[in-house]
Structure 1
Amino acid sequence: MTVISKKKQYLGVKLSTLIVSSVIFSQQAFAYEPSLSAGVTAGTVGFGISLSGSTQLHLFQGDKVQWRTAMTGFEYEDEFSSNIAGITYDASDFSESSLQIGFDWYPIQSSGWINDIFLSGGLLYQDYSASYSADNSKAYTVGSTTVNPGDLDSFTVDADRTEIAPYISLGWGNKIEKMQGFDIQVEVGLTLLSSETSIDLSAKGSNNNLTASDLTKEKQNIKDELDGVNTFASITLAYHF
């Protein structure tokens, strides 16, 4: 066998090895599926970050269950007017932080957009604090008494609530499968508040004719509006890896 023939044979073996290695690597890369997603989220509960992960849990064959947690919060001062129990408050100091922990269940298997619909449930921790000052340029009713412009120098509400409450939601997107990359998730849900908001009222002015009964009644009106079932909505931009 000549030297040239031996070199050709050697190069052929090396080329075959390289091709086989490339095929194996490509198959391994194709077989890899992301198991986590991380992203930024924004919604009615504020701005923050989220993290999701795949699980081996199933309710029936072919479905998918993911765990998810999100930390959000926001605060503002004197930026928005609010209407609570029929009274317009023109100055507001508000802060809220929350921690959401739950499971997203994707029951539908298809090749279209419907494949990304999910139902979610879990717990939502909320720490809420707000202070509202009434717009005294307009008439309003506190309890059973009408307050006219000039009657009060100030009427303020301080509200606080800290609790862990269950939530349920319906959403679309962020199903972790197949390929790395970006995805979007949108969600709307309900939170069943289990504890009452702590309310403190303060009325100051030379023509203050509000009674203790008026303040007690108004405090209950505010609780009825703030407590019970709350709604929330969010949108998340996530990356699967």
Structure 2
Amino acid sequence: MGKGYARLTVFLFLLGTLLPAQAWGLDVFIGPRIGTLGAGAEAGIEFTDFIKLRGVVQGFKWTIDDKKVSGIEYDFGMNSFTAGALLDIHPLGISPVGGSFRVSAGAFYNANNFSLEAKPTETVTIGGTDYTASDVDRLDADVDFNDIAPYVGIGWGTSPGLLPFSFTADMGVLYQGSPRVDLSSPRARDNAALAASIESEEDDMEDDLSSWKWYPVVMVGFAISF
């Protein structure tokens, strides 16, 4: 199933959770959001003035040319898709006086990944060994992370029952875990030394990309309460 269908499925599931909540007399809300995790939507339920539960789905794609990783220039692409649940605690409650400040924690299904491609035109160092451009031909790498990523953050949320429309914002961090790199070259199939160097280079790339284990989250949007 493609990511577009996955986003639709998750979003429809979020909508479905609102129906019984309304039947139970709970305040519910839904709205779009955009930021460092891409574009998407959230839907949620307010249980009390202090506690809310949100379901969130978002994603995006972007590319960067000539980004160096472990000393080699790659064309760099990111595919991002996350979907998960967040518990919001409003220590001041949700009111015109207390505002809508919240502390949030939860977990996401995390499909963030990178694709890297390099076509060297000069000698490159792979796993500590120098190779000419013709020795290598091309380097391709896939980088992925943990499937489940916990999240903590703060923000400002919706105020069901106070206003029909409200501003929302989140600031926090998603822990994706250490990157896993799968590097390959078509020439490595017939060159045992290059294959061994590529295996060593994978470790170097994982070290170079290690800062991506912590993904900064800044999201803004608005919500419709009903």
Q: Is TM more than 0.5 here?
A: yes
- Correspondence for 2:218: 233
Alignment of 1:12-161 (within 5 A): 35-56=27-48, 64-76=50-62, 79-81=63-65, 82-90=67-75, 92=77, 94-108=78-92, 111=96, 115-134=99-118, 136-137=120-121, 141-146=125-130, 152-161=136-145
Shift of 1:136: 2.5
CA contact (8 A) 2:145 2:176 kept: no
Counterpart-to-counterpart distance in 2, 1:184 and 1:210? 57
Shift of 1:165: 2.2
- Match of 2:222, as an amino acid? L
Shift of 1:121: 0.0
Residue 206 of structure 2 corresponds to residue 214 of structure 1: no
- Correspondence for 1:223: 206
CA contact (8 A) 1:34 1:177 kept: no
Q: Could you say what secondary structure the match of 1:108 adopts?
A: coil
Deviations 1:28-87 (A, max 9, x none): xxxxx981211111222222111122013xxxxxx62111111112335xx423444443
Instruction: Show structure 2 runs of 5+ residues with no match.
Output: 1-24
How many residues are treated as equivalent by the alignment?
196
Counterpart-to-counterpart distance in 2, 1:117 and 1:167? 17
CA 111–91 in structure 1, closer or farther in 2 if over 3 Å, else same: closer
CA contact (8 A) 1:34 1:179 kept: no
Deviations 1:108-132 (A, max 9, x none): 36757x7232110011111234321
CA RMSD of aligned residues (A): 3.3
- Correspondence for 1:185: 168
CA contact (8 A) 1:40 1:48 kept: yes
Counterpart-to-counterpart distance in 2, 1:53 and 1:159? 35
What is the TM-score when the length of structure 2 is the normalising length?
Answer: 0.70
Shift of 1:168: 0.4
Residue identity over aligned pairs, in percent, reads 23
Q: Could you say what secondary structure the match of 1:95 adopts?
A: strand
